[in-house]
Amino acid sequence: MKSLLKLFYPDQCSACSGLLTLGENLICTSCRHALPVTHLHTTTHNPIKKLLRGRTSLELATALFYFDKKSRVQQLIHNLKYRNQEHLSTYFGNWLGEELTQLEVYQDVDCIIPVPLHKKRLKKRGYNQVAGFGKAIAHALGKSYSDTVLYRKKATRTQVFLNRGLRSTEVIDSFDVLETESLAGKHILLVDDLITTGGTVEGCAIALQKIPGIKLSVAVMAITD
């Protein structure tokens, strides 16, 4: 029945909307090969650490893609967040998770935590767009995943409509932790979809630093180029 449905309603590539062929999943081979993968976890030059220098201390930092406006990556993240294509989150997590398993330093991570949505936005969207991403990375690394420690205490405006300065200040004081004991002394890998000004990561870091002795790392789907 599923094969018959695909015959009449074939799946489309989430990046270019072209028809997927046999063996392709979510993203066509052409688009997948064209996506600007960063490999930041394998290089000494790290724009995420540079962006957050003097604001928060990071052990490790990486992004799967570089992000540009009107690009395939922008289309994919838009579809993930606003067109109910939640499955892309797991797809990206499997992709990045497979790469991180090749690096011994990521075995030091104890727990993966997603940047949380405010409860109102979560109810409206129906899912946290980085949950699948974080769970897939946790599975690949053989680590735990928790979405019950960090929460968003204040709703913020949709960041895409704000300039860089406002994006940063809007979110810095938006997060808090529910408890501090279970992750004391642990290495946390914070996951998010897109890093632009670093304000979201900084806000989460301020909250997470209430947990005694933690180390913090970051992995995102994309970073603005």
Question: For residue range 117-174, what is the model confidence (pLDDT) as tens digits?
Answer: 999 999 999 999 999 999 999 999 999 999 999 999 988 765 554 555 555 567 788 9
The better pLDDT of the pair 170, 217 is held by 217
**pLDDT tens digits, one per residue of 43-101:** 888 999 999 999 999 999 999 999 999 999 999 999 999 999 999 999 999 999 999 99
pLDDT at position 204:
97
- Count of domains observed in the chain: 2
Would you state the pLDDT for residue 173?
86
Higher-pLDDT residue of 162 and 190 is 190
Residues 190 and 103 in one domain: yes
- 143 and 52 in one domain? yes
CA dist 38 and 189 (Å) reads: 18
* Radius of gyration for the chain, computed over Cα atoms and rounded to the nearest angstrom: 18
**pLDDT beyond 50 at 5:** no
How much is the pLDDT for 8?
Answer: 43
**Residue 22 and residue 92 in one domain:** no
164 shares a domain with 100: yes
Q: Let me know whether 65 and 25 are in one domain.
A: no
- Give the span between the Cα atoms of 2 and 7, in whole angstroms: 9
| Counts for the chain of helices (H) and strands (E), in that order | 9, 7
Q: List beta partners, residue 178.
A: none
Strand partners, 220: 63, 192
Percentage of residues in the chain having pLDDT higher than 90: 85
Q: Output the domain CATH number for residue 58.
A: 3.40.50.2020
Instruction: State the pLDDT at residue 61.
Output: 98
Claim to verify: residue 30 and residue 8 sit in the same structural domain = yes
Residues 6+ apart with CB under 8 A from 122: 116, 128
Q: Which domain holds residue 103?
A: 36-224
20 and 55 in a common domain: no
pTM: 0.91
Q: Are residues 47 and 16 in the same domain?
A: no
Share of the chain above pLDDT 70, in %: 90
Mean confidence (pLDDT) of the chain: 92
pLDDT at position 168 is 56
Residues 18 and 123 in one domain: no
Segment 24-29 shows an average pLDDT of 97
What pLDDT is stored for residue 154 in this prediction?
A: 85
Please give the pLDDT value at position 116.
97
Comparison of pLDDT for 179 and 192, the residue scoring more: 192
**Are 217 and 124 within one domain?**
yes
Asked if residue 40 and residue 14 are part of one domain, the reply reads no
- Asked if 206 and 219 sit in the same domain, the reply is yes
Catalogue the E-assigned strands of the chain: 61-67, 111-114, 144-145, 150-152, 175-177, 187-195, 215-224
At residue 7, does pLDDT exceed 50?
Answer: no
- Do β-strands 150-152 and 175-177 pair in parallel, antiparallel, or remain unpaired? antiparallel
